């Protein structure tokens, strides 16, 4: 935008103010709903309509971002051939991680989750959403413009995406094979984009199991300074 352009402001529309008792009910109900979310590793191959994924990504795209650059890209993978390639790329990195790269304290921290280098869900689940952060944006002249707070912005958008998918009735696994550069080529994304994570999306199997882990209490995660 040049200095000659007007910076326009518009009225706040669609803001709904609730009374305090409604707010208390809504806050409690939302917490009750989101606390049932669990990260799943046992995925069913059952199909999920594309439109549900599209609306959840639309929701993710409403996230706040540094200078409103919206520096994210969601590559939605349904192709069995691509999933197979992503699985084999990820398992190669994971094998290195579990056999060589990971220090013992990290392996100990992962033990309760029961993870290993085998990632069958990358082929079984109906969708993989590969999430990229855009460090730069190209304008119409091909000039690079730096984006701001990219990991933070992408993290917020991913949180909304996970919550939207959970709200729709789907389950997710946040998967971060490292390093993830192989995903640029497989997803046809430019080198100016950094893959941040793979969100595995679908339904759990009927006999899906999850680790017996708990969440920190409010007193452990918050301090109030009135
Ligand atoms: N990326 C590996 C290891 C892993 C790391 C963390 I931190 C986890 O919370 C879970 C797994 C894997 O996906 O197995």
Domains and CATH numbers, the chain: 40-206 (3.40.109.10)
Tell me how far the alpha carbon of residue 14 lies from the centroid of ligand 1, in angstroms.
Answer: 40
Tell me how far the alpha carbon of residue 42 lies from the centroid of ligand 1, in angstroms.
Answer: 15
Tell me how far the alpha carbon of residue 69 lies from the centroid of ligand 1, in angstroms.
Answer: 29
Q: What residue ranges of the chain have pLDDT lower than 70?
A: 1-5
Name the strand (E) or helix (H) holding 77.
strand 72-77
pLDDT tens per residue across span 24-42 = 999 999 999 999 999 999 9
Q: Which atom from ligand 1 is nearest to the alpha carbon of 102? A: 3
Q: Check residue 58 and give its pLDDT.
A: 99
3-state secondary structure of 47: coil
Name the strand (E) or helix (H) holding 73.
strand 72-77
Tell me how far the alpha carbon of residue 24 lies from the centroid of ligand 1, in angstroms.
Answer: 36
pLDDT tens per residue across span 146-170 = 999 999 999 999 999 999 999 999 9
C-alpha span between 24 and 42 (Å, rounded): 35
C-alpha span between 59 and 57 (Å, rounded): 5
The predicted model scores a pTM of: 0.94
C-alpha distances out from residue 11 to 8, 15, 59, 61, 63, Å = 10, 10, 22, 21, 20
Q: Which atom from ligand 1 is nearest to the alpha carbon of 178? A: 1
Tell whether ligand 1 has an atom less than 6 A from the beta carbon of residue 176. Answer: yes
């Amino acid at each position: 935008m040049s200095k000659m352009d007007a910076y326009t402001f518009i009225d706040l529309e669609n803001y709904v103010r609730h009374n305090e008792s409604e707010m208390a009910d809504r806050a409690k109900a939302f917490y009750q709903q989101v606390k049932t979310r669990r990260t799943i590793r046992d995925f069913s191959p059952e199909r999920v309509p594309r439109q549900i994924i599209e609306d959840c990504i639309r929701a993710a795209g409403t996230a706040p971002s540094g200078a409103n650059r919206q520096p994210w890209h969601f590559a939605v993978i349904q192709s069995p051939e691509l999933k197979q390639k992503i699985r084999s790329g990820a398992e190669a990195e994971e094998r290195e991680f579990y056999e060589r790269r990971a220090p013992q304290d990290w392996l100990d921290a992962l033990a309760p989750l029961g993870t290993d280098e085998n990632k069958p869900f990358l082929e079984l689940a109906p969708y993989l959403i590969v999430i990229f952060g855009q460090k730069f944006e190209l304008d119409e002249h091909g000039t690079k413009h730096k984006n701001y707070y990219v990991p933070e912005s992408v993290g917020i958008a991913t949180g909304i995406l996970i919550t939207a998918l959970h709200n729709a009735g789907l389950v997710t696994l946040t998967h971060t094979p490292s390093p993830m550069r192989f995903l640029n080529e497989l997803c046809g994304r430019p080198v100016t984009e950094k893959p941040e994570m793979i969100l595995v999306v679908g339904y759990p199997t009927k006999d899906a199991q999850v680790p017996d882990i708990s969440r920190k209490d409010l007193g452990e995660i918050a301090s109030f300074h009135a």
